[in-house]
Amino acid sequence: MVFESVNPATGERLKSYPELSTAEALRQVEALHQNYRQSRERSRTERIPKLKKLAHLLQEGKSRYASLITQEMGKPIAQAEAEIEKCAWATDFYADKGIDFLKETPVKTDASKSLIRYDPLGIILAIMPWNFPFWQVFRCAVPAILAGNAVLLKHAPNVPACALAIEELFQEAGLGGLFQSLFIDLETTARLIESPVVRGISLTGSDRAGSAVASLAGKHLKKVILELGGSDPFIVLDDANLELAVPAAIQARIQNSGQSCIAAKRFLVAEKIADRFEEAVIASVRRQRVGDPLDRSVTIGPIAREDLLVKLMKQVDESRACGAKLAAGGERLQAKGFFYLPTVLLQARPGMTVFDEETFGPVVVITRVQDDEEAIRLANQTAYGLGASLWTNDLKRAEPLISKIEAGSVFVNGAVHSDPRLPFGGIKRSGIGRELGREGILEFTNIKTVWIR
């Protein structure tokens, strides 16, 4: 496996990084385990000022870290800055609230005293993706470390400089002994999952990767949190406010150049308002500016890797061959780098690649529906269940629909997004377990019952 920085806006190869041998990786894991054993006896409150410093360092170095994200995976610079700010927000949130989340919970029983403790597990292996190279790591590592664990990072091969920068941040904040980044291949990663000192695995990635990790973790009886793919529906009922829904739809699809698990990917629009919705979306898509992600006027940057661009083009071409109507875009921008014009496909239906599979890029897929029942049926007609967005001016109409939508999150009159204050995760092939909120910090703890006569 090659750990190499390639600028997707230019195709320029920036720097390669050596891969660790399995033996060296295992030695570093053992050293991290020794640090964990020494630190777990100390109070969690000692980690609060270190988390506060970590949040400060993120804000202080925002420009540098955002530029690094943009350089390695092509995120438009303003969005990269927002990613760093969100990492700082989540870090501050857990510094302020985490200890309360982890307090012992008394339970009245026939004992003189009974309670629930939340003890750390040990080393958590974080296998993280490239699309939000800082955020995905921080939302896993910060609560895990506050809970008393140590975190081992196996980052995506195309964002090695981001991985090193994150490791340096934890070191500078005084948490270096509890956080380690390793450049390792899949075989070595498997060996770490097997290691008895690795007690949990958090993976964000494809459902295929999730299945492989879950299978190995299950064999060795390890706790896993999986945040996998999504094909999120964006449901627009016939009474929706299009002045609000259309801009939200565009942002929900093109954020991070469409490379997000929780991006809106299938737009299910009531027939009564479909003409107006499609016309407004097509006009907005054509106004988007594609180009150098360091240019603040650019709204859509490159696809992160050329192989991902080729896959996206194939999905669109296959769907058009099956009857999807191209209304905008649909081709690679002939320039250096891995750019794809924002695209709108109409008349999409089940059986087409863009409806059945997750699309990672700026492709709006619109399907007309006759009524609420059809909207919900098609929304659930997917292997995924990460998030869903529902648009209506009648909240009473929305209430019974919310329970019918098969997803980990439902946002009414808003685009799906993650928030440190709320648990985040999916069902079906979108994953197992939750991150963020109180639920997220408890996932990698031993929920221990204590009964005293």
Give the pLDDT of residue 222. Answer: 97
pLDDT in tens, 219-236: 999 999 999 999 999 999
Token pair of 210 as six digits: 């999730």
Active-site entry in 81, 83, 167, 227: 227
pLDDT in tens, 265-292: 999 999 999 999 999 999 999 999 999 9
Averaged pLDDT, 68-80: 98
Averaged pLDDT, 239-264: 98
Give the pLDDT of residue 2. Answer: 78
Averaged pLDDT, 113-131: 98
Averaged pLDDT, 8-26: 95
What is the pTM (predicted TM-score) of this model? Answer: 0.97
Query: Mean pLDDT, the chain, as a whole number?
Result: 97
Distance from the first to the final alpha carbon of the chain: 56
Averaged pLDDT, 320-325: 98
pLDDT in tens, 428-449: 999 999 999 999 999 999 999 9
Cα–Cα distance for residue pair 196/33, rounded to 1 Å:
10
Active-site entry in 87, 140, 162, 261: 261
Q: How confident is the model at residue 35 (pLDDT cuts 50, 70, 90)?
A: very high
DSSP line for 190-240: HHHHH-TTEEEEEEES-HHHHHHHHHHHHHTT-EEEEE----EEEEE-TT-
Give the pLDDT of residue 334. Answer: 79
Averaged pLDDT, 52-78: 98
Q: How confident is the model at residue 318 (pLDDT cuts 50, 70, 90)?
A: very high
Give the pLDDT of residue 207. Answer: 94
Query: CA dist 192 to 132, 144, 224, 443, Å?
Result: 24, 18, 14, 20
Does residue 1 carry a pLDDT above 80?
A: no
pLDDT in tens, 328-358: 999 999 778 999 999 999 999 999 999 999 9
Confirm whether 140 is a catalytic residue.
no
- Output the furthest CA–CA distance in the chain (Å, rounded): 75
Give the pLDDT of residue 31. Answer: 97
Give the pLDDT of residue 432. Answer: 97
Q: What percent of the chain has pLDDT over 70?
A: 100
Residue-range domains of the chain with CATH: 3-228+430-452 (3.40.605.10), 232-412 (3.40.309.10)
- Cβ neighbours, 10 Å, residue 252: 26
Token pair of 137 as six digits: 């790591």
3-state secondary structure of 69: helix
Give the pLDDT of residue 335. Answer: 74
Cα–Cα distance for residue pair 318/161, rounded to 1 Å:
36
Confirm whether 261 is a catalytic residue.
yes
Does residue 191 carry a pLDDT above 80?
A: yes
Give the pLDDT of residue 329. Answer: 97
